[in-house]
């Protein structure tokens, strides 16, 4: 079974050794196939992305099928793997975050873990709050662009 339906927003703090405690409510959602192993790397919009190991393995399979004789594919693969680091939960459910990635995401102490789909975004709390402050005014427009052309099915007919 692959981790696929993570959900939630969790506030965390880095300790003096750049570790975070993975919230137990989030850990319970992660597939046993991940075996307390994760991969973290650079995400979009200035966050980091924490992938359970089972999810990372599936993504890596797709990326490894790209034709590396094509320049854009090579550029993408380099950018995607840039900073990728394997992490393992310690006995106190802590993850040691790489300093270079913390610098990339401007993370110093306060963190938001935003879990959705099969991944966990790791944000500087202030950056995350700033991103969300822009959301309400354009969310309806964005929803129309992204979801407006979706064909209605029986399961969506009952939604408001």
Q: Quote the CA–CA distance of 105 and 76 in Å, as a whole number.
A: 19
Mean pLDDT of the chain: 91
Q: Quote the CA–CA distance of 117 and 10 in Å, as a whole number.
A: 15
Is residue 136 a part of any domain in this protein?
no
Q: Quote the CA–CA distance of 50 and 34 in Å, as a whole number.
A: 12
129 confidence band (pLDDT: 50, 70, 90): very high
**pLDDT per position as a tens digit, 63-86:** 999 999 999 999 999 999 999 999
Q: What is the pTM of this model?
A: 0.87
**How many domains is the chain built from?**
1
Q: Quote the CA–CA distance of 72 and 91 in Å, as a whole number.
A: 41
Average pLDDT on 129-152 reads: 80
Is residue 94 a part of any domain in this protein?
yes
Q: Quote the CA–CA distance of 141 and 121 in Å, as a whole number.
A: 23
Is residue 117 a part of any domain in this protein?
yes
Domain containing residue 53: 6-126
- Which range (111-120, 121-130, 140-149) has the least confidence? 140-149
Q: Quote the CA–CA distance of 74 and 81 in Å, as a whole number.
A: 11
Q: What ranges make up the beta strands (E) of 43-141?
A: 48-52, 85-88, 94-96, 110-117, 119-124
Is residue 108 a part of any domain in this protein?
yes
Residue 156: the pLDDT is: 53
CATH number at residue 111: 3.40.1550.20
Beta-carbon contacts of 155 under 8 Å, excluding residues fewer than 6 positions away, are: none
Is residue 134 a part of any domain in this protein?
no
Is residue 153 a part of any domain in this protein?
no
Neighbours of 18 (CB within 10 A): 15
**pLDDT per position as a tens digit, 16-64:** 999 999 999 999 999 988 889 999 999 999 999 999 999 999 999 999 9
Is residue 137 a part of any domain in this protein?
no
């Amino acid at each position: 079974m692959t981790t696929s339906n993570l959900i939630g927003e969790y506030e965390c703090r880095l300790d003096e050794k750049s570790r975070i405690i993975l919230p137990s409510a989030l850990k319970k959602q992660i597939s046993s196939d991940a075996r307390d192993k994760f991969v973290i790397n650079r995400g979009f919009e200035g966050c980091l992305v924490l992938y359970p190991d089972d999810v990372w393995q599936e993504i890596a399979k797709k990326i490894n099928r790209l034709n590396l004789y094509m320049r854009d594919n090579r550029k993408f693969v380099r950018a995607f793997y840039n900073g990728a680091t394997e992490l393992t939960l310690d006995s106190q459910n802590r993850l040691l975050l790489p300093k270079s990635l913390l610098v990339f995401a401007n993370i110093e102490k306060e963190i938001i873990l935003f879990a959705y789909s099969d991944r966990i975004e790791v944000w500087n709390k202030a950056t995350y709050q700033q991103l969300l402050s822009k959301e309400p005014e354009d969310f309806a427009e964005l929803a129309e662009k992204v979801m407006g052309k979706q064909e209605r099915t029986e399961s969506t007919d009952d939604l408001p």
